Structure 1
Amino acid sequence: MGTMHEPESPSTFLRIHGTLANRNFIGLLVAQFLAAFNDQAIHAAAMFFAINTQALTERAAISLMPILFYAPWAIFCTVAGWLADRYSKRNALVFWKLAEIAITAVALLGFYLGRNGHPELGPWVVLSTVFLMGTHSAFFVPAKYGVMPEILPPHLLSKGNGLLESLSFLAVILGTVSGGVLSYLFLGNELVIGVILLGLAVVGALASFLIRKMQAANPTLPFPPYIYGPIVGNVKELFAVPALRLAAQGIAFFTFVVAFMRAAVYMLGESQNPRWDELKTSVVVGSVALGIGLGSPAAGWLSGRHVELRLVLLGAVGMILALVGAATFIDEVAILVSCIVAIGFFTGFYIVPLFTLLQHKAPKERKGEMIAASNAVNIVGAISASLLFFGVVFLAQKFGLSPEVTNRQAVVSGKLTDLELLHGRPVYFEVTPENGSRVEGGRKPRPQEARSFEQVVKHIFEGGRSRDILELHKDIALDRKDQDVDVSKYVIGEVTHYDLVPAGVPPTPDYDNHHLPRFLFFGAAAMTLAILVLLVRPVLRLRKSV
C-alpha cells in the first residue's frame, strides 16, 4: 500500500504545505467530506429501507445501526493503526476511497434486489454496507488524522483541524438529512439512492489522488504477533503521557455524549404525540452536527498558531448551559432546535483542541497507532452510552417515570380489508368482522401527498397535528388485505393509537415516554459537568506546555 520517497526539505515543505490552500489539504477535505456524507447517508438509508421492507422493526433498526457501524472500530483497531504507520498514509486514504466505490456498489445491488424479487435478501445486503462503511472509517480515520501533521506545519494544525472538523460535521448533517429525504422521496425506487451514493464515492476517490505521495512514517514496523496485544500497550502508553491522556479521555467523552444525545433525540421523536417520523427526526439529529460545523472552525481560528486548551473548558460550560436550555424548553420546538445547535457549537470548541493535541503530541512514527488506540477508547465511550441509555429507559419504565399504558381497549376482530400506506408507513386501516359493520381508523392519504421538495420541507417543519397512529405487528404483511387481525386502541393526550396484531396474538406493552427525554437532557448536562470538573486541573496544567 505504500512506497518510499525522499523526505521533503524544510523549504519544500513550507512552499507546498505552508498554507491551508494546498492541493494535499484540499484533496483530503473533499475526500473526507464525501466519505463522512456517504457514512451517514448509507446509515440512514439502510435503516429506513430495512423498516420500509419490514426486514426490521423501527426500534430494532435504530438499535442495530450503531452496532453495525462501530463494531469494526473495535475489531480492526490494531490492524488500522499498524497500516497507517507501516505504509504511506496517502496510499491508505486512496485505497479506502476506492474501497468506498465497491461498498456503495454493494448498496446499489441491495436496493435493486430488495425491490426486484428478493425483498428478504436485499435489505440485509444494504445493511451489510453499514458494517462495511464502519470498516472503511476504522481504517480511514487513523490515516486521516495521522496525515494532518504531514501535510500542514504545526502552526496551522489548529486551523486545519477546525476546518476539517467543520466540513466533516457539515457532511454528517447533509448525509443524515439526505438519507432521510432520499428515502422519503424515492420510496419504492431506492435504486436512485444507490446511484447517487456510488457517484459521490467516485468523486471522492478522484479527490484523494490530489494528495501528493509521501513516505511511510515507520516502514519497518513489523506486523503485531498478537493481534490485540499492541492495542493494550498503546492504550497504556496513551494514559501514561499526561497530554495524550487528556486528549484520549476528552475525545472518548465526546464520543459518549454524541452517542447518548443521538439516542435521546431519537427517543424524543418517538415519544412525541403524534410521533415524529424518521425524516423529521433525522433533521433534528442533524442540527447537532450543524452546530459542530459552526463551532469547529471558530475554535480553530481562536486557537491561532497553538493548541488553545482553555477552549475545551469553555466548550464544556457552553454544552452544559445549552443542554439545560434544551431540557427546560423541550416542548418548544424552535427553542429546542436552537439549543441543540448550540450544543453542537460548543462541542466544536471542546473537541478541536483535543484532536489537535493528540496529533501534536503523538510520536511521529506512531501517530496512526496512537489514534487507533484513541479510537479503541472511543468505542468504550460509545458502548457505554448505549448501555446507559437502555438502562435508563428500562429503569424509567420499571419505576413509573415512563408508565405503561393502561387504557387499552379491544376494538374489533376480523378480516383486514384495507390498509393504506404513506411513505412506507400505515396511515389507514379497515377491518370487517364476520358479523357486523366495518371498523376503520386513520386517514386515507391523498395522491402525491408530501412528495415534492416543497412539501417535504413543509412536512419537516410544520407543527404536529392530532391524528390516529397505527402500529402493525411484524407478522402482518403490508401487501395482503385478507388477514385475520385483532385491533386494540389506547389514547395518549389527544391522539388515538391503534395496535393491529395477528388474530390471537396479544399486543406488546406500550409506554408513555413523554417525560423521559427531558431527564435525558438534564442527565447529559450533569455528566458534562462531571467531566468539566475532571478536566479543569489537567487543562490548566498543560495549556502552557502546548
Structure 2
Amino acid sequence: MSSSNQFALLKSRRFAPFFWTQALGAFNDNVFKNALVIMAVYQIAAHDPARATSYTNMAAALFIAPFLLFSATSGQLSDKFDKAKLAQLVKVMEVGIMLIALFAFLAKSIPLLMTLLFMMGLHSTLFGPLKYGLLPQVLDSRELVGGNGLIEMATFLAILLGQTLGAVLINIPDTGAWLVGGACILTAVAGLASSLRMPPVPAPDPDLKINWNPFSESWNNLSYIRGNRAVLLSCMGISWFWFFGSVFITQLPTYAQSIIGGNASVYTFLLAVFSLGIGIGSLLCERLSGHKVEIGLVPFGSIGMTLFGADLYFAKPDLAVAHDLTIAALLVQPWIWRVLVDLLLMAVFSGFFIVPLFALIQTRSDPARRSRVIAANNILNALFMVVAAGLSVLLLGVAKLSIPQLLLATALMNAVVAIYIYTLVPEFLMRFLSWILVNTLYRIKLDGLDHIPDEGPALLVSNHVSFMDALIIGGSVRRPVRFVMYYKIFNIPLLSFIFRTAKAIPIAGYKENPELLAKAFDEVDAELAQGNLVCIFPEGGLTKDGEIAEFKAGLERILERRPVPVVPLALRGLWGSIFSRRDSALGRARLPRRFRSRIGLAAGAAVEPAAATADLLQQRVSALRGADA
C-alpha cells in the first residue's frame, strides 16, 4: 500500500531491508577505502610524497574501474534474476572480501589491499543497477520520489560516517588494523543479514541471454538510452552532477587546509556539512514535489548549485593566514559562516537536482531494461568523474588556477550545462516555471490522477475556468501533456513562452481561422499517434459564470480519427480567482481575494472511445467538479 510519509517506508519489509542493505554497503565501502588510503599515505608512505600521491591516485582509479568495465554485465544480471537473491549473493561476496581485508590490513600489504579495493568497486558496480532498478518494482508512483530521497540521504550519510570511522580506527596505535578489519567484517555480516530479509523481487526479463563481452554490451546499454531523449538527458544530468560533485569533494581536503587553514578535523566537519545538505535536499524533494516525480525541481536545483557554488569563491578567495585551526577556533572567524551556508545550500540544491532525475529514469525506462539503463547511467557517471579529475589537474597545474577559482569555474560551467540541457529538453524548464507559478499562487489537492495511464495515448478533457488551467494540469500530471488551447490564450505574453515550450497546440474557430483549426486537429492526431497525452477544453473558452458550458463536438471528431481512452478532469475552486472571468463579467477590477488559496484537480475513470460522447463527458466532468466551482 502507498505510504503518505516517506519515513513510514522504513517500517515496510518491501523497502526497509533493502534500505539498510544498501546503506551498510556504502558505509563499508568508505570505512575500507578511507582506512586504506590513510594507511598508505600517512603510515606506509609518510615520508615519500610522490609515493603517497601515487597510492591516492591508484586507489581512486581501481575503485572506479569496475564501473567502466562491468556495469553493462551488472545491468543484465539485475534484469535477468531476482534482485533480492542477487543482492544476497553480492553481500556474501562482500563478507569474503572483508575477511581477506583483515589479513591485508594486519600485513600492511598494499598490493593485496588495492586488489580488494578493486573487488569492492566491483561489489558496488553489481549493486548499483540492482539498487535503482528495484525501487520502481517495490514502490508505487507516489512513493518513488520519497524512496529515492531516503536512498540518496542514506548513501551520503553512509559515505560521511564510513570515511570518519575508517580514519579514526586506522589511526589508533597498535590495534588500528584489527579494529578496521573487524568493523568491516561486522558491517558486511550485518548487510548480509539485512539482505536475507528482502522479499523476492521478480526478474523483469528472465529470458534475457547474457552478453559477457563488457565492451559490446556497454555500447548496447548506451544505445538503449539514446532512443529515449528524456532518459538520455537525465542520465547526462546525473553524470554532470557527479562531475560537479567530484570536483568539490576532491578539492575539499586541500580547500580545508590551505584556504580555510583548518586541521584534519575541519575537513571532516566540512564533509559533514556537505553530506547533511545532500540528505536534507533529498528528503525535501518528496514534500516539495507532492509525492510525484517533479522534474521542475531540476532547474531549481541547478540554479542553487550555481549560485552557492560560485559564492564559495567570494566567501573566501584567498589563502589562509592562520593554519592548523580546530573546529572551535574556526567557528569564531566571521567569514566561516558564509562558507558553511554556501556549502550547505549548494548541497541541498544538489539533492533537488539529483533525486527527480533518478526517479525520471526509473519511470520513463522500459521495465524489462531498467537495470541496463541504470548500468548505462553508471558508465556515463564514471566517465564524467574521470574527465572531472583530468580537467581539475589541467586547470590547477597548467592554467594555475587556485582552488577557489577552480570551484568558481565549475559553478559557472554548471550554469552553461544546465542552460544547454534545458534547451534540449524544454519540458524541464516548462515544469520548473509551472511549478513556481502554481505553487506560489495555490495549494492544490489532487484526486484520482492514477486514472491517467502511465504510458500510451489518452485524451484528457477538462472544464475551463481560468487562464492558469493548463499550467495547473501540466504541473500536476506526472507525464508531459500537450494542450489544445484557444489561440488568443496561447498568445498571452509571458504565459505564451511556457505554452510554446510545452508544445501546446493553438486552435481557432472555423469562422476565425479554418486553416489553424485543421492544423490543430492534425497535430492532435500526430501527438496521439506518438503515444502522448493530449488535453482539450471542450467548452471552447473560459466559463463566464462559473458553470460548465456545453461541450463541443470537436472531441468526437478527434476520437473518430484516433480512438483512444478519454480521461475526464475537473478543476475545482478556481472561479473567482484573479485569472478567471468572474470580476470582469461583473464589471469589477480583477483583484486577488485569496493568496495560496486551496484548489483541486480530480480525474475520473477512463471512458472507452466508442462511448465517449460530448454529452457523457460533460456529465462526468460535472460530477467530478461537484458544487465547488
The answer, yes or no, to whether TM exceeds 0.5 is: yes
The structure that has the greater radius of gyration is 2
Which of the numbers 79, 82, 97 marks the counterpart of 2:91?
97
Confirm whether residue 51 of structure 1 aligns to residue 29 of structure 2: no
| Residue 154 (structure 1) aligns with | 141
Match of 2:623 in 1: none
CA drift of 1:146 comes to 0.4
Q: Distance in 2 between matches of 1:250 and 1:72?
A: 22
In structure 2, how many angstroms separate the alpha carbons of the residues matched to 1:530 and 1:94? 42
Q: 2:198 aligns with which of 200, 203, 211?
A: 211
Distance 1:254 1:139 in 2: 21
Task: Report how far residue 39 of structure 1 moved.
Answer: 1.2
Q: CA deviation at 1:14?
A: 6.5
How many residues in Structure 1 have an aligned counterpart in Structure 2? Answer: 408
Match of 1:523 among 384, 389, 409: 409
Contact 1:176 1:283 in 2 (8 A): no
Please tell me whether the aligned partners of residues 107 and 126 of structure 1 are also in contact (alpha carbons under 8 angstroms).
yes
- Matching of residue 24 in structure 1 with residue 14 in structure 2: yes
* Residue 235 (structure 2) pairs with residue 232 (structure 1): no
User: Matches of 1:214 and 1:258 in 2, distance apart?
Assistant: 32
Which amino acid in structure 2 is aligned with residue 347 of structure 1?
S
Alignment of 1:48-197 (within 5 A): 48-55=38-45, 57-114=51-108, 122-186=109-173, 189-197=176-184
Using the TM superposition, name which of 323-332 and 43-52 deviates more.
323-332
Alignment check: 8 A CA contact 1:264 1:520 kept: no
Q: Does structure 1 conserve the Cα–Cα contact (< 8 Å) formed by 2:68 and 2:383? A: no
Q: CA deviation at 1:45?
A: 0.6
1:536 maps to 2:422: yes
Percent identity reads 27
Deviation at 1:61? 3.1
The partner residue of 2:343 within 335, 340, 345 is 340
Query: CA 1:302–1:152 in structure 2 vs 1: closer, same or farther (change >3 Å)?
Result: same
Unaligned runs of 5+ in 1: 1-12, 115-121, 402-515
Find the residue that maps to 1:221 and give its secondary structure.
coil
Query: CA, structure 1 residues 184+284, in 2 after alignment: closer, same or farther (shift >3 Å)?
Result: farther
For 2:498, the equivalent position in structure 1 comes to: none
State the alpha-carbon separation in 1 of the partners of residues 106 and 360 from structure 2. 45
Seen in structure 2, the aligned counterparts of structure 1 residues 103 and 335 have a Cα distance that, compared at 3 Å, is: farther
Q: Is the 1:47–1:127 contact (alpha carbons within 8 Å) kept by the matching residues of 2?
A: no
Instruction: State the one-letter code of the partner of 1:247.
Output: S
Cα distance change of structure 1 residues 110 and 149 upon mapping to structure 2, 3 Å threshold: same
Quote the offset at 1:43 in angstroms.
Answer: 1.4
Kindly provide the amino acid, as one letter, of the partner of residue 526 in structure 1.
Answer: L
Any gaps of 5 or more consecutive residues in structure 2?
321-334, 432-473, 481-629
C-alpha displacement of 1:103: 1.6
Deviation (angstroms), 1:54: 2.2
CA contact (8 A) 2:286 2:292 kept: no
- Counterpart Cα distance in 2 of 1:186 and 1:244: 50
TM-score, scaled to structure 1: 0.70
Aligned 8 A contact 1:40 1:176 in 2: yes
Q: Residue 319 of structure 1: CA displacement?
A: 0.9
CA distance in 2, matches of 1:187, 1:518: 39
Distance in 2, matches of 1:187 and 1:353, equals 47
Distance 1:58 1:345 in 2: 33
The 5 A counterparts of 1:225-374 are 226-269=213-256, 271-272=258-259, 276-277=263-264, 279-330=265-316, 332-374=335-377
Q: Are 1:48 and 1:183, in contact at CA under 8 Å, matched by a contact in 2?
A: yes
Q: 1:274 to 1:266 in 2, by over 3 A?
A: closer
**Separation in 2, partners of 1:192, 1:304:** 44
The yes-or-no answer on 1:391 pairing with 2:394 is: yes
Q: State the AA in 1 paired with 2:228.
A: V
1:225 CA displacement? 6.1
Amino acid at match of 1:337: L
RMSD of aligned C-alpha atoms? 2.3
